[in-house]
Structure 1
Amino acid sequence: MDQHPGVYIDGAWRRSANRESAAVVNPATEEPFALVGVATDSDVDEAVRAAECALPGWAATALPVRRAVVARMAELLEERAPELARLRSLSMGAPYRSSLKLSNSAGLLQMYLETIDEVQFSQVRRDRFGDSLVLRRPVGVVAGIVPWNVPVRNELKKIIPALLSGCTVVLKPALESPLVAGPLVEMLGEAGLPPGVVNLVVGGGDVGEALVRHPSVRKVAFTGSTATGARIAALAGPAMKRLQLELGGKSAAILLEDADLDATLPSLLAFGFGNSGQICASLTRVLVPRARHDEVVGALAEGASGLVVGDPMDDRTTMGPLVSQRQRDRVLALVSSGRDEGAALVHGGSAPAGLSRGWYVAPTVFGNVRNDMVIAREEIFGPVVSVIPYDSEAEAVRLANDSRYGLHGAVYSRDDAHALDVALQLDTGTAAVNSFDIPVSAPFGGVKDSGFGRENGVEGYGSFLEYHSYKLTPGLAAAMSRP
């Protein structure tokens, strides 16, 4: 069984202080295939102190040098994509074919390289009260805590904007899928990143809490469940740490009366069942005109039956298992609650036939769902789509917004302008028209229980930078304003 170290500090691998390891389990076979070292509180302290020591030098590094590291990292990602894709598929079950694209991670880095040039780090301001110098400086040591559902992309979304902003990082991946983090930190070193700028500690919730509590951590960037986000906020609040929380979702797709179902269906299938439904922005509530309910339910069921569920390493597979037995059991319990509350189970709802091993759940479609049912309220984080009928557009908007979450949404219509008018009424951080995706140059994040702060785009640097203002004499202001 492969052994992977789980502590990387100041540019070198370390054995964890307690020398303990955790098994990484292949969800398609239910068998451990690797061991990873688990950090202790003392490892966390060393990692944060290494990041703190590296901070002054990295913050003072010229932006072109920081950009060069990230540009080289983008090249290395493409070169080592097969290795990263294999680790990703083995640890959390995503089909290798889709993992090989690594969710366009190289493109994500290119976006960061383009948008960092839009950040104004220094500005002289003049008003009737005098002149001032306004600087934006790195916030300091950042704790990046990521979930298991999209390895590689999750880690990069925490590391790269921090590095370009001049911050240093301690990264903590989830225990379910920790293995890509090791190659990523090694690649950053190969790309020219100085020791100590990015450090790694693998562990569970206790390691995460130690990292959040550490007095030298100035910002926590977290993606994960709303419950964990609330816990992080409670721990970080007394120390006034900066927070960026990208949390849960229960996103609604509204099909308007004139929606072209043939054109819409591929999007609903891809983003209801993609990654086995383990995406925070998944379109898990499909709101349809009552007169079109049966048509849409039938099309979704037929589309779901065409998905190939199986071994993630098989090129024919389009949907793999859930990440763990615990996650599989939770999803099946929520499916049972849907049946108990009177929703119509049209497709799926159990393990697929012929798969006796692995934590699989067949793509599941419920019809005649009410918005007050548990399956319409809770983030299931599995391949379960609920179809909810409505009687008017106003009711559709009300139902979409009747959720404690507000991460994402989508509206489908043959009339793009009409769809946009409806999308503008959604109480969500993002929404799409006749699509699912939001371009990576746009800020991404949620409202309500879906968190706060934004990733991506020029806005994604905001919480990595602090404003500092200085009063200037007229002579200084004039000198600084010269080209």
Structure 2
Amino acid sequence: MSLMNVKSYAAGQWIAPDDTAREIESAITGHVIARAGTKGIDAQAMLDHARTIGGPNLRKLTFHDRARMLKALAQHLTENKQALYDISYNTGATKRDHAFDIDGGIGTTFVFASKGRREMPDGHVLSDGDLEQLSRSGSFLGQHICTPLLGAAVHINAFNFPVWGMLEKLAPTLLAGMPAIVKPATATCYVTEACVRLMLEADILPEGALQLVSGSIGDMLDRLDCQDVVSFTGSAATATKLRSNPNLVQNSTRFMAEQDSLNASILGPDAEPGTPEFDLFIKEAATEITTKAGQKCTATRRILAPEDHVDAVIEALSERLSKATVGDPRLEDTRMGALVSADQKRDVLEKLDILGTEAKRVFGAPDDFLINGDDAQTGAFLPPMLYHCTDPDNAQRIHDTEAFGPVSTIMGYRDIGHAVELANRGGGSLVTSLITHDPATARELTLGTAAFHGRLYINDRTSMKESTGHGAPMPHMVHGGPGRAGGGEELGGIRGVKHYMQRTAIQGSPDMLSAITGKWVPGAETHERPAHPFTRKFTELAIGDTLHTQSRTVTLEDIETFAHFTGDTFYAHMDDEAAKRNPFFPGRVAHGYLLISFAAGLFVEPNEGPVLANTGLDNLRFMKPVSAGDAIKVQLIVKAKTPRTPDYGEVRWHVTLTNQDDEKVAEYELLTMNAT
């Protein structure tokens, strides 16, 4: 193939590599296939472009606009992902590896697009938590809100996932309303550049929302301030160097790191050979060693098994690994491809020498294995390798040295307490997995290890068919870990979006908070109109639109009829003396659900109209019992509106039931779908 000149995209212009560019080799053949890098990148111009053009363009859009934008990007990448597959083979990735990187990145983007529409408002302010009443009468309230930071998000990504590594950071950043400057690892930046080109050529993103640095970012970190964010994935040594940048420290610039991780996988004491859990453990351990040639931040580096089962694990895992054909990832019968580069291969071999001082290699020979494919004999290949440490208590390097390749070390544990101790010796990791069918074991291990791990993956015969795997971070769940894993956090649904936003406490009157958040706050202004609100379409309803109903008296006959009709003959509704002995009731009282039913009868407009369906109730509370002879009335207020499709949207109504003395007897939020 012809030599690729990998360009940067800065301030709206593509910039070609210059004579300072670094050569990039194919992981398969070792031949030079690309060059990237230039000393001509103007870091300040990129930051200015992001801050003054990209940020304002994104912040004009609502969260739902940005979510639709992400969905369109994901759809466009799906339609063109074969081009990314074709170029990714040179990173050493197999077809199966593409599912983790390319498909995984696209899928993550789809998830954030969906969550943005489902869990965020169609507005510019995200409320965080519940309203806080700061005064007795409710005239002074507090609310936490999140708004996008006004700077640029600098994403510094690792070599192992050139697509997923970019998209899993980019999706929440753009959804938050913040522009991104992406800096991929040079070794695989040609794949990232191809993906960025696809996104930019689709003309979906507003100008300035996305820029790309292929090569060095120069002095960009020296130019960041408190409105910027650095999100880093890579080695602990590099993370320490970057996060200690004096300018970042002085300006308290947000720095999120996802770095080295000595992840563990634990075989439960109950998972003996012959059980479904034992077979599952061997399968998952082999997958983690061979997928992406072990070049995953979540790969299993330490395998913990009961001392009595260590030999069985070594035997079964060695047999499974022996079937892993290593070689040219383009060939159909290849199961494991190459490491990303010759440099990475050398690094793994150096780490093997360190591990070898405390553990014995029991499977795989780095200098004697078959490579599938005639063109791949000079590539960066290593076989899957398994080490065994017989004294993990007195070992150190197996707990602090990560060979970032197809390598794992097995060790025995005496009991759950010992397994917890060994797992935590990693000093903080992204994930530890436990394969067990015993809930007590799962609980004990969780309580012992959760503080040291960002994710605990527990699997057994019940969940194995649908589980996602030890090494697969899901966009719905947080990805990160304490200690040596970096102390950062990514993904996690809307939690990940908030990393690119500022949480602010706002205080004021109900009207002020309602105006800021875009949703009705108790005590804020309401307005009644002549027409019933159920006769108005979604687009015609306004926040604060209100209906006050007539009263209805609840009779003893109503209570008894409801009891017999529903079968709910609880004593508080049927036995006056028994009810009086209950500290909550003055005597026989109406069913709470009877009151909700009567409330609907009071506020519903029965004719066909814009209200299409009642989809549920939230936050239902009963505050005061209603006895026979009491009268109830309803106040119905439009609290919030959320578009769902071009044809309908969700209306959230604040519903309050009061009695003849204007005391609250019940309160809840009603959800309806209304035609637009």
Q: Is the 8 A contact 1:406 1:446 kept in 2?
A: yes
Query: Hey, what does 1:127 align to over in structure 2?
Result: 133
Q: Is the 8 A contact 2:6 2:190 kept in 1?
A: no
User: Aligned to 2:408, what secondary structure does the other structure show?
Assistant: strand
User: Aligned to 1:24, what secondary structure does the other structure show?
Assistant: strand
Map 1:102-181 to 2 at 5 A: 102-116=102-116, 117-119=118-120, 121-123=125-127, 125-129=131-135, 130-132=140-142, 134-139=144-149, 140-181=151-192
User: Aligned to 1:135, what secondary structure does the other structure show?
Assistant: strand
Query: Hey, what does 1:404 align to over in structure 2?
Result: 427
Query: Deviation per CA, 1:250-293, whole angstroms, max 9, x where unpaired?
Result: 01111122213222211111113321111111111011111111
In 1, the alpha carbon distance for the partners of 2:38 and 2:224 equals: 18
In 1, the alpha carbon distance for the partners of 2:330 and 2:60 equals: 45
- Does residue 433 (structure 1) correspond to residue 458 (structure 2)? The answer is yes
User: Aligned to 1:176, what secondary structure does the other structure show?
Assistant: helix
Mean Cα deviation higher: 305-314 or 327-336: 327-336
One-letter amino acid of the structure 2 residue matched with residue 396 of structure 1:
A
Question: 1:34, CA displacement in angstroms?
Answer: 2.1
In 1, the alpha carbon distance for the partners of 2:421 and 2:511 equals: 58
One-letter amino acid of the structure 1 residue matched with residue 422 of structure 2:
L
Query: Deviation per CA, 1:381-403, whole angstroms, max 9, x where unpaired?
Result: 11111011111111111011012
User: Aligned to 1:441, what secondary structure does the other structure show?
Assistant: coil
Query: Hey, what does 2:316 align to over in structure 1?
Result: 299
Which residue, 210, 219, 235 being the options, matches 1:225? 235
Which residue, 396, 408, 416 being the options, matches 1:385? 408
Query: Hey, what does 2:251 align to over in structure 1?
Result: 239
Larger CA Rg, structure 1 vs 2: 2
In structure 2, relative to structure 1, the CA distance for the partners of 1:52 and 1:478 (3 Å cut) is closer
Which residue, 252, 256, 263 being the options, matches 1:251? 263
Query: Hey, what does 2:387 align to over in structure 1?
Result: 366
Question: 1:19, CA displacement in angstroms?
Answer: 5.5
One-letter amino acid of the structure 2 residue matched with residue 338 of structure 1:
L
- Does residue 450 (structure 1) correspond to residue 459 (structure 2)? The answer is no
Question: 1:308, CA displacement in angstroms?
Answer: 0.8
In 2, the alpha carbon distance for the partners of 1:200 and 1:47 equals: 9
Q: Is the 8 A contact 1:93 1:323 kept in 2?
A: yes
Which residue, 173, 194, 200 being the options, matches 1:183? 194
Query: Hey, what does 1:14 align to over in structure 2?
Result: 15
Q: Is the 8 A contact 1:411 1:423 kept in 2?
A: no
Query: Hey, what does 1:4 align to over in structure 2?
Result: 5
Q: Is the 8 A contact 1:125 1:133 kept in 2?
A: yes
Mean Cα deviation higher: 404-413 or 370-379: 370-379
Question: 1:103, CA displacement in angstroms?
Answer: 4.3
In 2, the alpha carbon distance for the partners of 1:340 and 1:247 equals: 24
Query: Hey, what does 2:33 align to over in structure 1?
Result: 33
Kindly report structure 1 stretches of 4+ aligned residues shifted beyond 4 Å.
Answer: 477-480
In 2, the alpha carbon distance for the partners of 1:86 and 1:424 equals: 45
Query: Hey, what does 1:89 align to over in structure 2?
Result: 89
Question: 1:219, CA displacement in angstroms?
Answer: 0.4
In structure 2, relative to structure 1, the CA distance for the partners of 1:274 and 1:420 (3 Å cut) is farther
Question: 1:319, CA displacement in angstroms?
Answer: 0.9
One-letter amino acid of the structure 2 residue matched with residue 154 of structure 1:
G
One-letter amino acid of the structure 2 residue matched with residue 366 of structure 1:
Y
Query: Hey, what does 2:61 align to over in structure 1?
Result: 61
Q: Is the 8 A contact 1:122 1:133 kept in 2?
A: no
Query: Deviation per CA, 1:319-348, whole angstroms, max 9, x where unpaired?
Result: 11111222211211222333343x221111
Q: How many residues align?
A: 476
One-letter amino acid of the structure 2 residue matched with residue 448 of structure 1:
G
Which residue, 221, 227, 230 being the options, matches 1:212? 221
- Does residue 422 (structure 1) correspond to residue 445 (structure 2)? The answer is yes
- Structure number having the greater helix percentage: 1
Query: Hey, what does 2:300 align to over in structure 1?
Result: 283
In 1, the alpha carbon distance for the partners of 2:64 and 2:126 equals: 16
Q: Is the 8 A contact 1:243 1:463 kept in 2?
A: no
One-letter amino acid of the structure 2 residue matched with residue 211 of structure 1:
M
Question: 1:113, CA displacement in angstroms?
Answer: 1.6
Q: Which structure 2 residue ranges, 5 or more long, are not aligned?
A: 272-276, 372-376, 460-468, 522-543, 545-638, 640-676
In structure 2, relative to structure 1, the CA distance for the partners of 1:474 and 1:34 (3 Å cut) is closer
Question: 1:119, CA displacement in angstroms?
Answer: 4.3
In structure 2, relative to structure 1, the CA distance for the partners of 1:75 and 1:127 (3 Å cut) is same
Which residue, 484, 491, 495 being the options, matches 1:459? 495
Question: 1:3, CA displacement in angstroms?
Answer: 2.9
Question: 1:404, CA displacement in angstroms?
Answer: 2.2
User: Aligned to 1:425, what secondary structure does the other structure show?
Assistant: helix
In 2, the alpha carbon distance for the partners of 1:86 and 1:411 equals: 36
One-letter amino acid of the structure 2 residue matched with residue 193 of structure 1:
L
Query: Deviation per CA, 1:34-78, whole angstroms, max 9, x where unpaired?
Result: 233x14364322222211122122112122221222111111221
In structure 2, relative to structure 1, the CA distance for the partners of 1:477 and 1:96 (3 Å cut) is closer
- Does residue 333 (structure 1) correspond to residue 350 (structure 2)? The answer is yes
In structure 2, relative to structure 1, the CA distance for the partners of 1:122 and 1:414 (3 Å cut) is closer
Q: Is the 8 A contact 1:244 1:453 kept in 2?
A: yes
Question: 1:419, CA displacement in angstroms?
Answer: 2.6
TM-score by length of 1: 0.92
Mean Cα deviation higher: 462-471 or 147-156: 462-471
One-letter amino acid of the structure 1 residue matched with residue 457 of structure 2:
A
In 2, the alpha carbon distance for the partners of 1:63 and 1:462 equals: 12
In 1, the alpha carbon distance for the partners of 2:423 and 2:96 equals: 33
In 1, the alpha carbon distance for the partners of 2:40 and 2:297 equals: 30
In 2, the alpha carbon distance for the partners of 1:439 and 1:97 equals: 17
TM-score by length of 2: 0.67
Larger RCO: 1 or 2 (CA < 8 Å, sep 6+): 1
Question: 1:433, CA displacement in angstroms?
Answer: 0.5
- Does residue 324 (structure 1) correspond to residue 336 (structure 2)? The answer is no
Mean Cα deviation higher: 230-239 or 353-362: 353-362
